[in-house]
A and B are shown apart, each in its own frame.
Chain A
């Protein structure tokens, strides 16, 4: 479980609803009984103005990148719900999906505020088309088996932890606060995935084969994680963003350690320059399919209140 849990629940306010016949159950009402649906506002007391010398459009774009990574990865984990190999994994995968959804909400809200066009987290999540999404392609690829899921989660979490760790020192106090919260969560995600990669790699002959196949399927999407988009380059120079190229050494070290314990070899990588395609809004058809589902209800009822 993540070390930090929700301490304030949005629906807690509904407790005083007229006609509620269940008062007898409200013994102090510990909000941890419904995990991950609220935040101990990590932005409390944080200066939310755009720091001096930082381009607001760049900041909005960068928050979209990190927010979309989390939103789309969370969606792929949500798809595991009721399909996990064991109940403990149901709980853990939902937990990780909730953590990432929470990060996405904060980052999309920050993007909307920096943009200043009145778009909130839901407008950004539900009313953008695929070309407007800035996530890396790793997260949009369709789900495979559990070996694939653990390969992708390990790669994603090892990369994101290195990123958030650096971002905790960002000149933007909001990104710094979001990153500081996220580091604790993603450290758990990485440990969880690493545990399974080792178990499957060093388990049965069949699981070893599946785990190697999962890594092989995910690996072509690894180089893009370290490609630098111009927004990232400008904001890294301004002390706001983490330079993706600078994350590779830590990532390699973590992966080598896990893969050694898993008795697996690192898949070969095609040499040559790689573009930050997802960051530029160039996606695979998998993202369009994913968004069609994610946005279906929201778009079917314009003007509705949820």
Chain B
């Protein structure tokens, strides 16, 4: 036992990967399952706010881009659930935990999308914040998660650029469109900053997660990085970020920004955001409405296997 633990500790210390069949502490396993499952849930719930706009996309090119993006999110969910399964979790159980409200997903998806500019702003700010959070996870100590994150980050960066490109196009359009973009930025800016989680002094699990190299930077470090990279992008776009205290601080070499309303984050996390009930209800309905389909597929597979066993030379459909 001491030897197994020693091996685990040395692997972490050498910055090498923990793989599915390696011994790991129960706490590490549980933390990884929870983190990967919440990430998978976020991808799946995250399909909803933008998915609303696929059928209404204002050009066929935008429709194709958005449909492909939402499809990517389903794909991300799939391989994240697979990564969780390498730790002994079961996708069906994780889905049950999600729809019963026993496991969380990113609070950002509990805000509504009120217009097509929201699609662009989600790409720019929400995917941008997600990238800041997720790029360090490509070096996560758990191998399957780290490898999944490399592919996910590449796709997210693509989505981020597509969102930004939509906003650039809209800002060159009508006055009406520019107002739509600014309105969406006003609504999504603060929730995007909250995506990095509570401030470091209120984030109890950060120290252990950093020691295990599950997490590489603190919430506040990542939030600062996001603000610093977003400010010049907002200037190019010609929008105002809704924070009168936002300004460059030459001494720190970073932007200062105003205080975040943490009570709002707490409210949304605890289930009282604008769309929490609606998001879970949609996911639950899809799961329940699809139960007979999944049961049929399993029943058919059993029949086909039984037929194949009776007549081994015949391949059953």
CB-CB under 8 A from A304, the residues of chain B are 58, 170, 173-174, 176-177
Interface residues of B in 268-317 (CB under 8 A from A): 282-283, 285-286, 289-297, 299-300, 303, 317
Contact partner of A297 (CB less than 8 A), chosen from B116, B128, B236, B286, is B116
Do the beta carbons of B236 and A18 come within 8 Å of each other?
A: yes
Give bound CA distance, A62 to B292, whole Å: 40
Which residues from A are CB-within-8-Å of B60? 71, 101, 104-105, 108, 121-122, 125
Q: Which of B72, B135, B296, B297 contacts A24 (CB 8 A)?
A: B135
Q: Is A200 an interface residue (CB 8 A)?
A: yes
Q: A258-306: which residues lie under 8 A (CB-CB) from chain B?
A: 261, 293-294, 296-298, 301, 303-306
Interface 9-residue window, one of B62-70, B191-199, B214-222: B62-70
Also in contact, A81 and B47, with CB within 8 A (given A98-B64, A293-B55, A293-B56): yes
Flag whether B209 is at the interface (Cβ < 8 A): no
Interface members, chain A 1-49 (any B CB < 8 Å): 9-11, 14-15, 17-22, 24-27, 29-30, 33-37
Across the interface, which residues of B come within 8 angstroms of A14, CB to CB?
A: 161-162, 164-165, 168
B54 at the binding interface (Cβ < 8 Å): yes
Residues from chain B with Cβ under 8 Å of A126 in the complex: 58-59
Best-surrounded residue of B44, B68, B164, B174 (most CB of chain A within 10 A)? B68
Partner of B293, one of A78, A85, A95, A294: A85
Among B48, B70, B159, B293, the residue within 8 A (CB) of A207 is B293
- A27, A78, A303 pick with most chain B CB within 10 angstroms: A78
With a cutoff of 8 Å between Cβ atoms, the chain B residues found around residue A121 in the complex are 60
Docked-complex contact B67 and A78, CB < 8 angstroms:
yes
Interface magnitude class on chain B: 35 or more
Q: Is A253 an interface residue (CB 8 A)?
A: no
Interface status of A94 (Cβ within 8 A of chain B): yes
Please determine whether B65 and A10 come into contact, CB atoms closer than 8 angstroms: yes
**A84 at interface by CB-CB < 8 Å:** yes
Give how many A-B residue pairs fall within 8 Å (CB-CB): 219
Contact stretch, chosen from B13-21, B31-39, B74-82, B258-266:
B74-82
SS class, residues of chain A in contact with chain B: helix
CB atoms of A306 and B165 under 8 A apart: no
| Residue A249 at the chain B interface, CB threshold 8 Å | no
Distance between Cα atoms of A25 and B75 in the complex (Å): 19
**Interface 0/1 of A201-220, CB less than 8 Å to B:** 01110110010000000000
What is the minimal beta-carbon distance from B284 to any residue of chain A, in angstroms? 11
B204 in contact (CB, < 8 A)? no
Residue among A21, A104, A198 with most chain B CB within 10 A? A21
Give Cα A84 to B151, complex, Å: 24
Alpha-carbon separation in the docked complex, A298 to B57 (Å): 8
Query: Hey, which chain B residues are within 8 Å of A98, CB to CB?
Result: 64, 67-68, 71
Q: Collect the chain A residues with CB atoms within 8 Å of residue B206's CB.
A: none
Which of these, A101, A105, A145, A206, contacts B67 with CB under 8 Å?
Answer: A101
What chain A residues lie within 8 Å of B62 (beta carbons)?
Answer: 306
Stretch of B99-107, B227-235, B247-255 lying at the A interface: B227-235
Q: How far is the CB of A42 from chain B (nearest CB, A)?
A: 15
With A33-B155, A85-B290, A90-B71 as known contacts, state yes or no: A298 contacts B59, CB within 8 Å: yes
Of the candidates A91, A210, A297, the one whose C-beta lies within 8 Å of that of B71 is A91
- Nearest-Cβ distance from residue A193 to partner chain B, whole angstroms: 13
Question: With A and B bound together, what is the CA distance between A34 and B165 in angstroms?
Answer: 15
User: B166 an interface residue at 8 Å Cβ cutoff?
Assistant: yes
B159-191 interface code vs A (CB 8 A; 1 in, 0 out): 111101110111011101100000000000000
Q: How far is the CA of A87 from the CA of B82 in the complex (A)?
A: 12
Chain A residues with CB under 8 A of B116: 297, 306
Chain B CB within 8 A of A142 CB:
no
* Min CB–CB distance B40 → chain A (angstroms): 9
B147 to chain A, nearest CB (A): 14
Q: How many angstroms from the CA of A84 to the CA of B288 in the assembled complex?
A: 10
Interface of A with B (CB < 8 Å)?
Answer: 9-11, 14-15, 17-22, 24-27, 29-30, 33-37, 71, 75, 78-79, 81-91, 94-95, 97-98, 101-102, 104-105, 108, 121-122, 125-126, 145-146, 198-200, 202-204, 206-207, 210, 261, 293-294, 296-298, 301, 303-306
**A-B pairs with the 10 shortest C-beta distances?**
A85-B290, A203-B296, A207-B296, A94-B71, A305-B173, A21-B229, A14-B165, A85-B293, A90-B74, A25-B157
Q: List 27 A-B contacts (CB under 8 A).
A: A18-B236, A19-B232, A21-B229, A33-B158, A78-B55, A81-B47, A81-B51, A85-B291, A85-B293, A91-B71, A101-B63, A105-B64, A121-B60, A122-B59, A198-B317, A206-B295, A207-B295, A207-B296, A207-B299, A261-B317, A297-B56, A297-B58, A298-B59, A301-B58, A305-B173, A305-B174, A306-B170
